[in-house]
Structure 1
């Protein structure tokens, strides 16, 4: 029988996003690709294991549904969709298009309604699988329709038919799922249910009365408060059941051929995977395999007794024999908490806490972890503290919800955290530093972050704890879902969970991180440069970034509200002008309608490319090539820009202001980009536009904290070009920089062979493009598009450049040769970028690696310099006890809330520290600006 899989896109996207919440995947441009990456892996795993013959992916739409019409408060309390998920959705749709998988959606209905309808229509001739983690789909299950719950965080795939659904809920008929949902309600969707009725009570009542309607009819039989609630909220219970029912008569046709799997669009897929920087997935999907195997864990030592220790005052406690978790189980799989001996203890009395704190305070090195209520460190409250000081042992200290009581417990461990003689280990330590700062704790002493250590060892790999444990310890950590249920940590329900289970989960985190330190540190120690980079730059920077994140920045929400209105007007005017130019009204956001206007009505390109589904391609790269052919193309590009500015920044930024502080707190990612550059998310400040007038206006919303402060911006000037000059040793380029000349004008003078006083603005513009393009290995074709000249003229520009700056050409050639010998490129501080394809026979892969061999040392050294500068500047401000604060870093720029009384001194010292962060043969320079907002200062 044919197999049809219907995927609930939004449920899978959210699930993927939160799976990477603590260690998100961020591209070199600052784009958070966690949700797209997780969704793609889920999809590929499905295709590989289940071999479906037909497939469709269902999405919700932004429009209100019939449920909103029926009950206007439906989903009213749902939190605003995270910015990164909003950004991810179009990429997931593009992925589906590239893989020739139809996107299913219909205004007025939710994805589960679309799936429910198609599942019922297809069940006569298909085995239908509804792929979703959502429990509500259980109501649809029948003989040929199954609920397919994907694998997640160590838990295997679960396929549920009628028997499994009934067993899960403890009911006799799958149709009773909606009765249970109606009684218990759903806080996420704001379905009220009947007060006082949870899942257990709902199951009991439905087993006894069969349905909500029958329960209400017999409400007089119920006693006490329950009977009173059922009688008083009967209509609410019926409404809740109605809202929980998945519609099975959506006006959507089941067309078998449209859901049949077909060949992917390789060109579209290749471009998308490159944009998302999914290098491994690209090789896997497009027929190429990675060139370097994962690092092999060191050989395990034999099991040995861990000995005894006197921890809680006099009585020797026997410690279990600890088996090296790097060994495989007898069946060859990875070890888990269930088959590895360990000793994890709950420390939940004053006596035990005092003894543990005293014992830890005597150690030379400990590992710690914070369990919290939120993935945002700024918003999080403590649930507990976990510690480990020896392999196989861990301790969990629960912290109560009451703030005063919580603070008292944290105080008991202050002497441990602030003991400078104890080295502290953690995974993603910046998060823990930030959380503890809410409780007045400054973690002192030497710090060691296993995530950052691995980032320097394997910059291109993933660095989350689960991956590291599997790679280096051959161990799979337990998931919180496995221990305390599906809602898990992301729902903030750990406080109500069984403490014994939370203890296992939390203490294991500390234990595994401690063991990872033992494995990673010897590898890191093999390279003295990396050790210095880790200890002198990355670890001090983690503390600096924590402090900067905590400061946050004040946002002018009223200005953004006004700007949003202006953008609404821009959108209307641009749309109207586009309609006039087209001679008809059409949906600019619809690729199908837009393609018909551009390529059928206006005939802009007789050879216009189409997707596999027959739809015209209308991406930005296509439109840019058509801009000179018709005025409408510019209007479409403007419309898209205004729409992105409004949704991604202007409307989104106010929703990210912390209710706790009233300020905007971005999260800086220190271990994401392979080049060493920082990225940020929630919000992604690295991508705030600067090239267009409306884009620049967004920076006007970033304002000082009060009237006594102004915004100070300190921005490195042409740092990558200066590094190129220093590395290449080109005399004329170095001289131009060291004399403070306009380097682009000097370049133009040489390339165009004219005196410097005869260089025109157009010559300078082209020379500037060449200067920066050379760093990134620009081709004649690429340059011709950037400066709008013929390919022949572009080639001549590049040839002239290399003739006038031969040392630069030698540097580029030598960089490639060195990378071929070593297999990596290296920055001024020894940060490595591994290039496994540098000797590849594939010209495309080799060319990409060669460009990285040239660029990585330059861009990575710029990152090194910026990080050193941040550490030195923050140290100076801390030592001087200034009132001013560092509040942002974006690319090569530092932003400060500068106290008016300190402006001159701050400018002088920050400039000095930045230009002398790392000594090079070329003089560094900064641009300093002060203003009432970031735009004025920048």
Structure 2
């Protein structure tokens, strides 16, 4: 018997929304400022199905104008849904254009939902002996499952794809037959579609009724078998139950006809697809698409709905067989990208003393030269320098190899110092901090003005990616040679740059320097247009040297202290586990959200109406447990257990492994181009996330110590800098005066909003005022405030209203910020850093209110970030000029940590405090608290 043909029907909107919200915290923004998250999310899902399953037939089904019939039955059907985000609305025509170019049919019928179209087509195809897979995360489709119709739930958040046949549906819904899923949904209702269901009937009760009665009708005909309130509720809402079942029923008789020929997966119009992708700046998806079409896609170990036919000997499969019109099609061929292969260039190497001397002579005549180091690895402390590329004119440049032999290497670098230490020549690069560290580790100091293309682009377009390949393709229409072409893919078998032939490494390295130089010319003009040259030249560029020195320095960490903390944590974690098991009256995996949810909400019933995740499991998210922690000790114990296990795994047990063998220190990296607000972020390890609100979290700081007994740690911390900034920016006199008079701002606020004397303020009142003070920056609501305090929602509302009456200019400032953002689509910090807010005029309320919150807090957070950067630059310069032994080691949000030689303590304590407090003049004084101690905890 021949293989059964397979049809895949995609639920378009379900996949589009899912893709959009999966990227909501890190949206994909291209150089034109367009949010491409929805398109990318959907296209990834589509490609995943095509690559993984190699389907015979495929179609994509869209809703159009909602469900006319269901709305007629129930006016409030789906009435609870927020308006579709603008980003998704704008993405639909582009998604349809992609599908059209791929020759994939788009099926939509006015007044019909995609569910109904999919249901109709699936049943028709079943009659023609097709195996149909409904590609959707929506559980409602369970009702359509049969011997030949399956639900295909796409992979998400690291979970593999799920294929639900009859057994999976039986297990998930507690039914005998899939069609009983309609009764299940009708009984319990569906919040997402606003289907009311029967009051008081949830997942467990619905499953019980299905088992007992078999259907909604049988339940309503036999209510005499029910008892008490449940009997009353079901009888009183019988019509609502019948209506809910109708609303939950997927129609299978739409005006659509399955057309096997039309739905056949066929060769796409490659040029058209690539054209659309180029406009969207979809680099990775272009590569995927071309692999699928031309070279076959990499086989995966994931189970498929049937075995994929392998291209002989390749370990890959080809979607359309091997008969492709072009055998070796590359992204740049279709996208019209320039590349090494099709662009005239003149790249040479200089590998003799005479050639290098001539090169230096030529470079010394230039005002600006771009350079790029080639190394054996990404860790600057261990990386060997393999060579350096130079370019000062587009399409040309030189490469100087650095020998492995230490003596020869030192000689060559000594010669190159004439260029690097020439202060008259501007040095250009992409991610210059890396190159500066590599050269410093090899005894070379890079002097003169710097220009970093990665930083320039971060200031111009903070929400976009900043790696060179993306920048080259976006701004220069050029696709650089990937490093994998020289040393292979990442992994244990990857080669070393040290082993690449001189001619090949010359082409690769000089291309990077050449492209970076061309980007520099482009970004210089962009910075001028955005009036951001001062921010770039006076703040971000000088900070490169500061951060490079801090990262090279590192900080000493005492392994023994961490070992002791870990032992102590073991005991505390064990005690909490026993407590939790005792309260639960059983042992279970506390780290499993599913098992934990069953214990807390299924067995112990700590909530009347437990919150559930989209997959139907009980939610055990932190906010859910925090809400119940006040009334249920077990919820608090679980939160404590999570906090301690995370602390142990992320820091206490992980930090010793990150101590570098050569230096005995931890060398975190500070990232300048990650946070759109301008804040620095820390990685490898992330020292900015060590929890300090708990005693245990604070104890980790004990492990950070000075280099030796002649040194001590000094911590200098801005006190309430964000509140001082908002007071100054809003020109709120009452708040400004409190800061000028040196009052405790939270006590001062409490005295005013509770209308009492300053000396009468209680700890609880101060705490409530503190919550409001900081909450205002982040747009705290009455609901949010009541969750964070012991106040009721009405008390919280009253407190916020009183707060704004006390500080009227604060309300005006917030309104003006939002208004400015609406008109300009950006806000800016005191130093002119822009935060672009493309969603500020969105029609979707949730999306718009998120942008409004950013309009208020981005200038405050960003200004605080700018101010501490100024302080860091000034302090770094003074430490250098004075040739002090003391070093600046870390920046943790509003705090700086120093390794201070004891003989310099008094002098530097005063200097650091002064520089930080005078970094920027506001209408309120900046206040810095300085502490000293043998470890970071003591110093802080």
| Deviation for aligned residue 1:485 | 2.9
1:3/1:52 contact within 8 Å kept: no
Tell whether 2:512 aligns with 1:509: yes
| Counterparts of 1:358 and 1:378, CA distance in 2 | 31
| Counterparts of 1:95 and 1:404, CA distance in 2 | 57
SS at match of 1:740: coil
Matched residue, 2:692: 690
Offset from partner CA, 1:401-449 (integer Å, 9 cap, x none): 2333222222221010010110010001111111110111111111000
1:826/1:857 contact within 8 Å kept: yes
Relative to structure 1, the CA distance from residue 341 to residue 843 in structure 2 (aligned partners, 3 Å threshold; closer, same or farther) is same
Matched residue, 2:75: none
1:339-354 alignment runs, 5 A limit:
339-354=342-357
Q: Which has the larger radius of gyration?
A: 2
Residues paired across the two proteins, number = 671
| Counterparts of 1:571 and 1:928, CA distance in 2 | 34
| Counterparts of 2:159 and 2:401, CA distance in 1 | 50
1:155/1:482 contact within 8 Å kept: no
Matched residue, 2:338: 335
Relative to structure 1, the CA distance from residue 704 to residue 160 in structure 2 (aligned partners, 3 Å threshold; closer, same or farther) is closer
**Which residues of structure 2 form unaligned runs of 5+?**
9-22, 27-34, 55-152, 164-283, 300-308, 317-330
Relative to structure 1, the CA distance from residue 898 to residue 860 in structure 2 (aligned partners, 3 Å threshold; closer, same or farther) is same
| Counterparts of 1:153 and 1:431, CA distance in 2 | 30
| Deviation for aligned residue 1:3 | 9.1
| Counterparts of 1:494 and 1:165, CA distance in 2 | 33
Relative to structure 1, the CA distance from residue 607 to residue 163 in structure 2 (aligned partners, 3 Å threshold; closer, same or farther) is closer
Relative to structure 1, the CA distance from residue 371 to residue 156 in structure 2 (aligned partners, 3 Å threshold; closer, same or farther) is farther
Matched residue, 1:422: 425
Q: 1:449 aligns with which of 452, 460, 464?
A: 452
Q: 2:463 aligns with which of 456, 460, 465?
A: 460
| Counterparts of 1:760 and 1:731, CA distance in 2 | 24
Offset from partner CA, 1:721-776 (integer Å, 9 cap, x none): 00111111111111111111101000000111111111100000000010011011
| Deviation for aligned residue 1:660 | 2.4
1:379/1:658 contact within 8 Å kept: no
SS at match of 1:51: helix
Tell whether 2:501 aligns with 1:498: yes
Matched residue, 1:633: 635
| Counterparts of 2:610 and 2:52, CA distance in 1 | 29
| Deviation for aligned residue 1:612 | 4.5
Offset from partner CA, 1:129-170 (integer Å, 9 cap, x none): xxxxxxxxxxxxxxxxxxxx998799945436887563689x
| Counterparts of 2:813 and 2:154, CA distance in 1 | 39
Matched residue, 1:840: 842
| Counterparts of 2:853 and 2:401, CA distance in 1 | 51
Relative to structure 1, the CA distance from residue 26 to residue 885 in structure 2 (aligned partners, 3 Å threshold; closer, same or farther) is farther
Tell whether 2:313 aligns with 1:166: yes
- Which has the larger displacement, 378-387 or 895-904? 378-387
Relative to structure 1, the CA distance from residue 38 to residue 571 in structure 2 (aligned partners, 3 Å threshold; closer, same or farther) is farther
Alignment RMSD, CA only?
A: 3.1
Q: 2:46 aligns with which of 48, 59, 74?
A: 48
Matched residue, 1:659: 661
Tell whether 2:598 aligns with 1:596: yes
| Counterparts of 1:462 and 1:608, CA distance in 2 | 40
1:399-410 alignment runs, 5 A limit:
399-410=402-413
Matched residue, 1:356: 359
| Deviation for aligned residue 1:781 | 1.0
Matched residue, 2:746: 744
Q: 1:928 aligns with which of 924, 930, 934?
A: 930
Matched residue, 2:477: 474
1:367/1:514 contact within 8 Å kept: yes
Matched residue, 1:542: 544
Offset from partner CA, 1:821-865 (integer Å, 9 cap, x none): 222101111000011121222211211111111111111111110
Q: 2:718 aligns with which of 716, 726, 732?
A: 716
1:657/1:664 contact within 8 Å kept: yes
| Counterparts of 1:456 and 1:668, CA distance in 2 | 17
| Counterparts of 2:895 and 2:908, CA distance in 1 | 15
Relative to structure 1, the CA distance from residue 930 to residue 602 in structure 2 (aligned partners, 3 Å threshold; closer, same or farther) is same
Tell whether 2:366 aligns with 1:368: no
| Deviation for aligned residue 1:460 | 1.5
SS at match of 2:666: coil
SS at match of 1:687: coil
2:867/2:920 contact within 8 Å kept: yes
Matched residue, 1:909: 911
| Counterparts of 1:152 and 1:376, CA distance in 2 | 29
Matched residue, 1:609: 611
SS at match of 2:913: helix
1:712/1:896 contact within 8 Å kept: yes
Relative to structure 1, the CA distance from residue 549 to residue 55 in structure 2 (aligned partners, 3 Å threshold; closer, same or farther) is farther
1:153/1:479 contact within 8 Å kept: no
2:45/2:154 contact within 8 Å kept: no
| Counterparts of 1:743 and 1:624, CA distance in 2 | 28
Matched residue, 1:758: 760
| Counterparts of 2:288 and 2:878, CA distance in 1 | 43
1:51-90 alignment runs, 5 A limit:
51-52=49-50
Q: 1:411 aligns with which of 396, 409, 414?
A: 414
